[in-house]
Amino acid sequence: MLKRLMAIPLLLSATALAQPLEVLHWWTSAGEHAAADILRQQLTHAQVEWQDYAVPGGGGDSAMAVLKARVIAGQHPGAAQIIGPNIRLWARLGYLQPLDDWSTAWPGERYATLETLTHADGVRTAVPVSIHRINWMWLNPALFQQYNLPLPTSWSQVFQAAEVFQAAGIVPLAHGAQAWQTATLFETLLLSVGGPEFYRAYFVDLDPNALHDVRVAEALSLLRRLKGIMDPQNQNREWQEASQMVINGDAAMQIMGDWVKGEFTAQHKLPGKDYLCMPVPGTAQNHLYSADTFVFFRSNKADTQRAQAAFAHTVLDEETQRRFSLAKGTIPARADIKLEGFDDCSQTSAHVFREAEQAGLLAPSMAHSMATSPGVESAIFDTLHRFFRDDSIPIEITQLRLAQILSALSDHE
Ligand code: BGC
């Protein structure tokens, strides 16, 4: 009894001290929500109260539009999920809190790639959370077994299996034809067809030879062929609805980043049993990545700054890193964290990430804001979306349009 009585004032004081911090992000699916909730829980230990400002919409386009509107109205949040080179734009506009003073106390080691991503003009401006691998294919193993089909490691095996599934009334490839999902698929195909050097020449170096290379046409043509093994009801389908089709056995495969694994984990599904992760054909040694990061909006309030500093520190805490990544499907942003207890998909992702980073062959995701600027990204989305929806648009015209965007817009941003 005495113990219980003593516990109450302690709890009250912890709650009374908690400093609210509004966090804008786009983690709204079941798996994403479970992962965000881990951050929220961990922050309570640091007396920070996570005030949720979630903007639905995979890939974060809507979240970024809302963030801009809020900042214009003078109502910026305390923390926001901003990722990729976009961080630099926000920092240059003077909105973001520099983190160099706080980061001296941050625990652990970080990958060189994340160090680059989280610095803007030499100043540390963001805290990394975790790393996604995008070039994954998610499979329903029971369906492959039932129809006695090999697990596909080549595109021809994918199309052979698709024929059997289609005849049986099963959707071979689940897809949500939102612009960002189609762009995610396209960049994966470009990596598959061209390899990481070519991918980087195209999306990072904007090499004119790469922009006009025949491999771009091959990737576009593969995108059209894959459309033929999707169901026509895919317009505006959310990515997690497509994942659900795979887990329900209504569809056999989905190509998407490993946030899909977070979705399956939230339903207590197990890799190797209820679903399989396989690299997209031709990309087993490659890592098409996106890394989630948070930034903090400048504030002159000491309480807010304290909460922001505690937030950054908590994100990098070992327990937070592990629990978050297990729920989200990612690998930790901290390079020193051992992956015991993580499944094979994550182990593979970590291994391939390290190897590719060392070889200078990581492929930064264009569709998930790692490679270009927001203006370039939305123009590419628009072009690919039209191409995907309208079969009469010629491949050559689309390739030319993409080349124009990448070369012309990039000069100006
Ligand atoms: C983010 C992931 C998120 C995914 C789908 C990506 O851009 O990096 O954290 O789960 O979009 O919303």
| Residue 273: CATH number of its domain | 3.40.190.10
* Three-state DSSP class for residue 112: helix
Residue 353 lies in a domain: no
Same-domain pairing of 303 and 384: no
Do 297 and 281 have their domain in common?
A: no
105 shares a domain with 37: yes
> Counting beta carbons within 10 angstroms of the beta carbon of residue 197, is it exposed (0 to 12), middle (13 to 18) or buried (19 or more)?
middle
165 and 98 assigned to the same domain: no
Q: Identify the burial level of 132 via C-beta atoms within 10 angstroms of its C-beta, where 0-12 means exposed, 13-18 middle and 19 or more buried.
A: buried
Q: Ligand 1: does its nearest atom lie under 6 Å from the Cβ of 85?
A: no
CA of 27 to the centre of ligand 1 (A): 7
**Alpha carbon nearest to ligand 1 atom 8, residue:** 292
Q: Is position 176 within any domain?
A: yes
pTM equals: 0.94
Q: How many domains does the chain divide into?
A: 2
- In this structure, the answer to whether residues 279 and 247 fall within a common structural domain is yes
* Residues 282 and 150 both lie in one domain: yes
The CA distance from 246 to 377, in Å, is 29
Q: What is the pLDDT of residues 298-308, one digit of tens each?
A: 999 999 999 99
Q: Is the pLDDT of residue 10 over 50?
A: no
Residue 356 lies in a domain: no
Q: Is 261 in the pocket of ligand 1 (CB under 6 A)?
A: no
Note whether residue 361 is domain-resident: no
Confidence of residue 1 (pLDDT cuts 50, 70, 90): very low
The C-alpha atoms of residue 152 and residue 179 are separated, in whole angstroms, by 26
Domain that holds residue 8: 2-131+291-347
Assess whether the C-beta atom of 259 lies below 6 angstroms from ligand 1. yes
Residue 176 near ligand 1, beta carbon < 6 Å: no
Q: Is the pLDDT of residue 119 over 60?
A: yes
Q: Is residue 329 part of a domain?
A: yes
Indicate whether 154 pLDDT > 80.
yes
Give me the residues paired with residue 50 across strands: 21
Do residues 98 and 192 share a domain? no
Is there a single domain that holds both residue 146 and residue 248?
yes
Instruction: Please check whether residues 163 and 121 belong to one and the same domain.
Output: no
Average pLDDT over residues 69-94: 96
Which residue has the least CA distance to atom 9 on ligand 1? 292
Which of these three, 317, 347, 377, is where a domain ends?
347
Check pocket membership of 31 for ligand 1, CB cut-off 6 A: no
pLDDT, residue 205, reads 92
Query: Is the CB of residue 112 less than 8 Å from the CB of residue 400?
Result: no
Q: Are 129 and 293 in contact (CB under 8 A)?
A: yes
Give residue 151's pLDDT band: very low, low, confident or very high (50, 70, 90): very high
- Answer yes or no: is 354 within a domain: no
Asked, for residue 352, whether it belongs to a domain, the answer is no
Residue 315 lies in a domain: yes
- Asked whether 26 lines ligand 1 (CB < 6 A), one says yes
